[in-house]
Amino acid sequence: MAAAVPTAGIGLGMKATPVILLLSQVALTALGCATVQPPAQSESARVSAPIDVWIDVDTAAGVPRRDIDDAVALIQAFHSPELSVKGVSVVFGNTSLDNAMPIAKEVSQRFGPIGLEVHAGASSATELGQPTAATTALAKALTAQPLTLLVLGPATNIASLIAMRPDLVPRIERIIAVAGRRPGQRFTTGTSNLRGHRDFNFEKDPEAFRIIIDSGVPLVLAPWEISSTVWITQRQLDLWAKGPPAAQWLARKAPSWIELWKETFHVDGFNPFDTLAVATLTSPQHIACDTWGIQIIRAPNDVTAPEMQGGQPAQSKPYLVVQAAVEGGPQARYCHAAAPAFLDDLMQRILSARGSSSARPYGK
């Protein structure tokens, strides 16, 4: 893909400015004070044990003009008392595996739970079904305890585990992935990108999603539709820059990414895609989801439609689509809307010095 396209593959399809203004006003109201309080622990979190999670990422924060949202999501998760992060694995996607690994290690070792290990997974979709350090470690972790899997990049690592160790499928409580769309939905950003983006994580390895669907593991989708309504702008970056070490770290990595969105799409901010997946666990009160049927279909390529390519023939491509359930067919929870309060929730977690149930105090 062209470098100047958000590689979460999901863009925004609405007029950005009013949303930015609205959310910025909410953020200013909530975060204008000098001291930001840790997020209030929900009633359910107080009475329930933390959810054991494994996070699979394609971290690219710090790679010029590449996504920072995996790193935001890791720090969000590390600062969520509702979660206990048991492991991190890394996959190709937003950048190469070789680039992504040291970024995931740095974020996890500085800001994550003491002893949290980071494991290298697939470097391309051609490695689907092959063992990696990530699949070995995930198999060991699943043997030790059931886990919820947060899949924030192409799903190759997780699908490989399922393909090689079907005996462990019952140990996967659910898979939360950043992918999917309604029929005919186009991922456009601002007014300068009418062709739309790819459903990046899905299209990087459609077969991996087919394996996940066929496995019958409960699947939750945090797709472009939900993230496209949430904006991180310079206002939030300024608050990060004055926050604790993890927030400051993000603030240092963000400018190149936010500049890309401004130059390419003429919007003031970016959508923090992967954070919505974490929010389905930590903040379900802010997230609206419905259960739909899910299938992979093949249709003309909406990114390279003939009218967008000077009349060249359109090529088809696979789409991960939710629609009315077919009796007996596979289903997924499709999360499609975030309340405005989610931005406050996210900011409070990023700006909090409190870690998850298993996290160390803030890194140095």
Residue 354 CA to residue 128 CA, distance in Å, equals 37
Structure token pair of residue 208: 């991996």
- Least distance in angstroms from the C-beta of 152 to Ca ion: 4
- Least distance in angstroms from the C-beta of 34 to Ca ion: 33
At residue 53, φ and ψ (nearest 5 deg) are -130, 155
Q: Which is nearer to Ca ion, 70 or 344 (CB)?
A: 70
Q: Which is nearer to Ca ion, 104 or 141 (CB)?
A: 104
Residue 101 CA to residue 1 CA, distance in Å, equals 21
- Whether 135 and 56 have beta carbons less than 8 Å apart is answered as no
Q: Which is nearer to Ca ion, 152 or 212 (CB)?
A: 152
- Least distance in angstroms from the C-beta of 201 to Ca ion: 7
- Least distance in angstroms from the C-beta of 28 to Ca ion: 28
For 165, 299, 301, 332, 357, the CA distances from 318, given in Å and listed in that order, are 26, 6, 8, 18, 40
* Chain centre distance of CA 323: 22
Q: Which is nearer to Ca ion, 58 or 268 (CB)?
A: 58
Task: Single out the residue of 174, 122, 128, 121 nearest to residue 147, CA to CA.
Answer: 174
Residue recorded with tokens 């190469």? 96
Name residues whose C-beta falls within 8 Å of residue 167's C-beta, 6 or more positions apart in sequence: none
Q: Which is nearer to Ca ion, 24 or 229 (CB)?
A: 229
What are the residues binding Ca ion (CB under 5 A)?
58, 70, 152-153, 274
Residue 8 CA to residue 68 CA, distance in Å, equals 10
- Least distance in angstroms from the C-beta of 59 to Ca ion: 8
Q: Alpha helices of the chain — where are they, by DSSP H?
A: 16-31, 43-47, 69-78, 97-111, 133-144, 156-164, 200-204, 206-215, 224-227, 234-241, 245-253, 255-265, 273-282, 341-351
- Least distance in angstroms from the C-beta of 274 to Ca ion: 5
Q: Which is nearer to Ca ion, 116 or 152 (CB)?
A: 152
- Least distance in angstroms from the C-beta of 265 to Ca ion: 18
Q: Which is nearer to Ca ion, 93 or 355 (CB)?
A: 93
Q: Which is nearer to Ca ion, 45 or 278 (CB)?
A: 278
Task: Single out the residue of 40, 102, 110, 51 nearest to residue 75, CA to CA.
Answer: 110
For 7, 264, 312, the CA distances from 199, given in Å and listed in that order, are 9, 18, 22
- Least distance in angstroms from the C-beta of 57 to Ca ion: 6
